Structure formats: structure tokens, C-alpha cells
Structure 1
């Protein structure tokens, strides 16, 4: 079992490992931990280790065909200023998969990696944005 002080890992199945590595490192602040492209790579951000398994990886081969499509599960990344992140990512040409929504816990928006795996950007309620704090 993973010790509490070790990173938590999530496996995403991807069509193109290099494209996924480029996406996560360029746009979302991950760094490369292991690179066995084209089969596999993993990237890290804080306590999260994201396993990017291409079609030739053992992780992808072990997944039943009916479970191999992206679903409603997603990684959840907390951001300080969701409006600034949306602007930055839209400027980079990334499409969002949802509108920005607000709820009692905060505000969130979804985007997808090149394989269609979802990422939720989340700003907790009560956390002032940079723009709002400077007004």
C-alpha cells in the first residue's frame, strides 16, 4: 500500500504519449518524472503523479475494451485565479469542455487532454482572484 507521504498516482490512457506529455508540461505545470515514450511516461505536479499510458503500455493492454474510453472521472487541480487560467489556456488555443460554473464550494471549468481525458480547474469559494484583489 502507498504510504501517506508518497505521491498519489492516476493512470490516464492516451493515444499519443508525447502529445500528452507536451500538454501537461506546457499548459498545466507538470514536470516529466519518467520518459519511456512512445509506450509510457509519467508527469508530476505536487503530490500527483499522472501515469500516461499509450497503446503499447502494459497499463493500457490490461484494461478491458469496454472500460478503455474516457469517462466522467477527472483529475482536479486547484488554481489561485480561475479567470486568469481560463484566459491563459484560451490564448494557448485550448478548448474547454464546459462553461465556468459556480457552486457553494467554488468555481470550476473542465478541459480535456489530447486523448479526451478530463481535467477540472477549481478555485475554492472565498479565494479572491488576483484581479478582484487589486480592485
Structure 2
């Protein structure tokens, strides 16, 4: 069982650590956890610890070509109102990588941080109880 002091950590390689800190803390509700050197910082939102590794960090070392996947990796942030959150971010100058997409689980839209890492904003669908919709 995970305790509140444990985090799920994701590493993103970024070109500019201060710009990444600013983006995640200003626009997406993260708080700065540590910034021990200009090469690295980590920010926290809920139980997510996002490791921001700049070009001089050990995390930015190249990995063998055969270990990389087909892409599409991204962090997934749940929002209560996708339209309002999208409008707020657009007004702040954030560019989106997709239009809103709807599916059986809810709606989503993709944006990218300053280094091009993907972030999915996701609004879960509101489902009725099974007993109310049994057919």
C-alpha cells in the first residue's frame, strides 16, 4: 500500500530546467520539490513526482535505440472541467497538440511542455449507476 509520502515518479528530459519548472508550477498546479542544481529539478502534484532532467543531468544520458518505444508516453492529469481548463491554458499562451477527443471513459486533450513532452488533460465521463441504466 502506498503511503502519502511515496510518489509515482516520471522523468522528462527538458532543454531548459527553469522554463520547465515555470511551466509546470504556473500552468498545471505542480509545486517545486527540489532544485539542487540547474541541471535537475523535481515538481510534485498529488502523488506524482515529475523529474525534470536538463541536458547536463545524468538522467539525460542517451539510451540504446532498442529500448525506446513507439512514442505516445505522457503524463495524465485529471481535470474536472476540460473546456474551462483548456480555455485557461490557451489564454495563458499554451499551445495544444490535439483537439479535444471524446471516448467511453471521458474527454481528453494533449498539450506539450517547452521541451515537447506530452501532457494529457483528462475529464472522466460521468456514468450513471448500472441499476439505473439496466436494459
Distance across 1 between alignment mates of 2:36 and 2:53: 10
Distance across 2 between alignment mates of 1:71 and 1:28: 22
Question: What residue is the counterpart of 2:130 in the other structure?
Answer: none
Aligned residues: 124
Question: What residue is the counterpart of 1:12 in the other structure?
Answer: 12
**CA-based RMSD:** 2.0
Query: Which aligned pairs between 1:1-135 and structure 2 lie closer than 5 A?
Result: 4-5=2-3, 6-61=6-61, 63-64=62-63, 66=65, 71-126=71-126
Distance across 1 between alignment mates of 2:63 and 2:15: 16
Distance across 2 between alignment mates of 1:72 and 1:15: 19
DSSP-derived class of the 1:93 partner: coil
Greater C-alpha Rg: 2
DSSP-derived class of the 2:10 partner: strand
Unaligned runs of 5+ in 2: 128-135
**TM-score under structure 2 length normalisation:** 0.85
Distance across 2 between alignment mates of 1:71 and 1:13: 14
Q: Report deviation, 1:72.
A: 1.0
Distance across 2 between alignment mates of 1:91 and 1:40: 29
Residues 65 and 91 (structure 1 numbering): CA distance in 2 closer, same or farther, change over 3 Å?
farther
Mean Cα deviation higher: 80-89 or 70-79: 70-79
1:67-95 deviation line (CA, Å, top 9, x unaligned): 68x93100000001111000000000111
Distance across 2 between alignment mates of 1:39 and 1:84: 34
